[in-house]
Structure 1
Amino acid sequence: MQTTLKQVAPLIPQLWKAGIVPFLHSSPAQGKSSLAKQLAEQFKLKVIDLRLTELDPTDLSGLPYFNNGKAEFMPFNTFPLQDTPIPEGYAGWLILLDEFNSANQGVMAAAYKLVLDRQVGQHKLHDKVAMIACGNLESDNAIVNPMSSALISRFAHFDINLNVDDWLEWASKAGIDYRITSYLSYRKANLYSFKPDATSPYASPRTWEMVSKVIKDSEEPSNLLVSSLIGDGIANEFVQYTKLYLNLPTLEEILKNPTGVKLSDDLSTRWATMSMVTHSITVDNHDKLSVFLRRFSSELQYCALREIKYRNPAVLAKVLDWVKELAHEVF
């Protein structure tokens, strides 16, 4: 059944409690491993990130050795066993089995024992170990190897679809550069540009997060730098959009005259202005900035309140009259 990462997130702890491993299937770079790491942070689990395509079967089963004339398997210290002390500050571990269905059959067979029996060789995993498996889609020209019916039946499978609004909510809460969330609210189709046959960089949740990191302290992002992460076409358009911010009214001008500062007739410039103001609004300046924002169209006001809700929720309590007017759209 197709779903989104936001819908799956609250279900995963229920599966862990029942001793079932979730398997997330999606196209590349849509945020599967990011979700796993968010859950690990939420439940104070130390992440053990395993790319199964890079492993040998012995990495999962251990190395054979003789013990009193019998062959046994000695596990690597990658895996927390029953006698492994829980690291300080954590409540357990999360083993992320990434690129699961791209691994060769030998590695998958070794992973079967890990998932089914919670064992590495003859050694039991620690009781406080949770697991998530992730894999790509054959339709994306990814290397995908068939899984046995026995292995398939050991997981709870979710086919993940990317939801732009869910990602924008996450991005705002996570502090992704506001110019990116503003641009993608305006040009939603440019969040993800992956094409199975392409060999050049493409836009995706993962690469937009990378863009945010590299432009964080730059008023004029480098086209060359952004293109190296998300490809030429979308990068050119995004960099041009960021240039709008260089000619906007300053925050000081808006605070001095929230009812008189001229609003541009250009929609792109209005989007940029709205995002700049919502990024800067606080409980101390909300009175004047909210007056300014209420001069925008209803659509932009909805977007402004949504951004405020995600980036600075404390401000919402200060603008309840405005919120009530638009509550049916925002919430």
Structure 2
Amino acid sequence: MQCTLNQVAQVLPILFKSKVVPFLHSSPAIGKSSIAKQIAEKYHLEVIDLRLTEMDASDIQGLPYFKDGKSTFLPFDTFPIESTPLPKTKKGWLLLLDEFNSALPSVQASAYKLVLDRQVGQHKLHDKCFIIACGNLDNDNAIVNTMSSALISRFAHFYIQVDNTEWQEWAVANDIHPMITSFLNFKPNLLYTFNPDLDTPYASPRTWQMMSKVLDNNTPLIVMASLLGLGVAHEFKAFMEYHKELPTIEDILKDPENYPIPDMIGIRWATLTMVVGHLDKDMDKLTTYLKRFSPEMHMVALREIKGRYGIDKIAQSKLLREWLTDLGVKAYGHKPR
């Protein structure tokens, strides 16, 4: 079924416990492997990241070994088997089988035994080894080799959709440049612009993360276009120009009850993000200013403040704490956690 990455993350422990293997299908560059690695970190698992398109069937089966007139298959040490000791500081392994449905049929057939019988060659996988498979959609012009019906029935299938709200929460928690989160609050449709009929760069969760690493006030348009595509790069560059027209925090602090809220929607979004980023300069005064924005922008402020500031920091301002509590009740029916 269709779902978001966060929804999948919530059910993965259920599948792991029963040794049912999830298969995450999606268009490229939306973060399938990233969510697997986050799950691994949460449950103290060592990630084994395998691209099946780069493998041969023997890489999974192992190599034949002859002794006393008999042959067996010896697995490569890539896979943890029953006799493999647990990694130091880890509780097991997460085996990520990426590009599964793009692999050659012979490799898929070898992976069948891995998924169905939890075996490599003639050796059982370690009980603490959990498996996730990932693959592309067949309508994305990616190389996809049809899986057998028997193999399809061995997975729990999830079709991942990009969700801007989820990504914004992740972006704030992972220090994505506030200029980017502000822009994508203003233009959420530009988070993901993949078109399978084009072979040009496109915006995606992955490329926005890359953009964050190189972004400063002087980043050339050509660099932006190389990551996001020319159209998105032009819009993002224009949005950055808005920041030259933003009010200063000092001006807002002088009169937070009356200082004008910008009329232009782009500048308004940029101002909101800027104020949230400087909230600790004077929480009471800047909260007073934020409360004057529109209700839909309040929800964005709630999400960003929760992500950027811990509970202890928020608790320092009674005004801020009460406002966020009220917003949480309106949005979720309970206090924000």
Q: Distance in 1 between matches of 2:184 and 2:275?
A: 17
Q: Distance in 2 between matches of 1:239 and 1:90?
A: 44
TM alignment of 1:30-109, pairs within 5 A: 30-109=30-109
Identify the residue that residue 300 of structure 1 maps to in structure 2: 297
Q: Which runs of 5+ in 1 are unaligned?
A: none
TM alignment of 1:200-279, pairs within 5 A: 200-215=200-215, 218-279=216-277
Q: Is the 8 A contact 2:25 2:134 kept in 1?
A: yes
1:108 is aligned with what amino acid?
Q
TM alignment of 1:15-26, pairs within 5 A: 15-26=15-26
Q: Percent identity?
A: 54
Q: Is the 8 A contact 1:186 1:271 kept in 2?
A: yes
CA offset at residue 240 of structure 1?
1.6
Report the count of equivalent residues: 328
1:222 is aligned with what amino acid?
P
Identify the residue that residue 284 of structure 2 maps to in structure 1: 287
Q: Is the 8 A contact 2:30 2:205 kept in 1?
A: yes
Over 4 Å off, 4+ runs: none
Q: Distance in 1 between matches of 2:269 and 2:55?
A: 47
Q: Distance in 2 between matches of 1:150 and 1:161?
A: 26
1:4 maps to 2:34? no
Q: Is the 8 A contact 1:57 1:106 kept in 2?
A: yes
CA offset at residue 219 of structure 1?
2.7
SS in 1 for 2:150: helix
Q: Is the 8 A contact 2:245 2:267 kept in 1?
A: no
CA offset at residue 73 of structure 1?
1.5
Identify the residue that residue 115 of structure 1 maps to in structure 2: 115
1:320 is aligned with what amino acid?
R
Q: Is the 8 A contact 1:29 1:204 kept in 2?
A: yes
Question: CA RMSD of the aligned region, Å?
Answer: 1.8
CA offset at residue 244 of structure 1?
2.0
Which digits, 9 at most, give the CA deviation of each residue in 1:215-264, with x for residues without a partner?
1xx23332111111110100111122122223423334433443354433
Q: Is the 8 A contact 2:44 2:89 kept in 1?
A: yes
Q: Distance in 2 between matches of 1:250 and 1:88?
A: 50
Q: TM-score, normalised by structure 1?
A: 0.93
SS in 1 for 2:306: helix
1:226 is aligned with what amino acid?
M
Q: Distance in 1 between matches of 2:165 and 2:261?
A: 26
CA offset at residue 89 of structure 1?
1.7
Q: Which runs of 5+ in 2 are unaligned?
A: 333-337
CA offset at residue 2 of structure 1?
1.5
SS in 1 for 2:130: strand
